[in-house]
Amino acid sequence: MTERTQGVEDKRRLLLDAAVRVFARKGYHASRVGDIAVEAGVAHGLLYHYFASKDQVLEAVFHENWSVLQARIASVEETDEPAADQLRHITAIVLRTWLHLPDVVRVVIREFGRSPELAERIGELAQPIDVIQRVIARGIERGEFRRDIEPRVAATVVYGSIDELLTAWVLDRLPAGEEDVAAAEKTFFEITLNGLLAK
């Protein structure tokens, strides 16, 4: 990467990080391009050098963070661990995102999770369900999980529970410190795996 290219990427990252903070604090619709520029400490016009609109900024925030999460989830699926362990790891990756990137989680949950048109346009929010479905199907094939479970329905229930925990933390419905997240993981595993494991 050339010095100039690195400089462009650094400036773009600066703007995206500022946008995440602004969107998390004020909400996407109440935020202005000028708010992002002020947060980033740059001239207002600079943002338009990198992004055509505020909408494009929001999509970039989503895609760049989501692609990292997707890659981490995919790496778990590629292991030959038992299906229960794979589910544990996928769940931990998604839930612990709250601890590492709380503002990103706030923006994704508030803006994409609650906006059907945005979610439909992005089209990637269901991808973790696809991975979880494959993990559950393999668990059934290997005799680790019950055979009377329909993988797609089970995957939707699992992912819906993860999404609801994140939403509860974003909306302050549940305590959300490090110990709280660990306790939520433990409860989630016990409830979910007890329902899936072959007796």
Residues 24 and 111 in one domain: no
DSSP-based three-state secondary structure for 123: coil
**Other CB atoms within 10 Å distance of the CB of residue 172:** 8
Q: What percent of the chain is predicted at pLDDT more than 70?
A: 90
Number of separate domains in the chain = 2
CA 169 from centroid of its chain's CA atoms: 13
Domain boundaries, position 147: 53-196
* pLDDT tens readout for residues 60-94: 998 888 889 999 999 999 999 999 999 999 999 99
pLDDT tens per residue across all 199 residues of the chain:
565 566 678 889 999 999 999 999 999 989 999 999 999 999 988 899 999 999 899 989 988 888 899 999 999 999 999 999 999 999 999 999 999 999 999 998 888 766 666 656 556 667 889 999 999 999 999 999 999 999 999 999 999 999 999 999 999 999 999 999 999 999 999 998 889 998 7
Residues 100 and 21 in one domain: no
Task: Output the domain CATH number for residue 142.
Answer: 1.10.357.10
Residues 47 and 64 in one domain: no
How far is residue 22's CA from residue 188's CA, in Å, rounded to a whole number?
Answer: 32
Give the tokens for residue 55: 């909408």
- DSSP annotation of 174: S
pTM over 0.85: yes
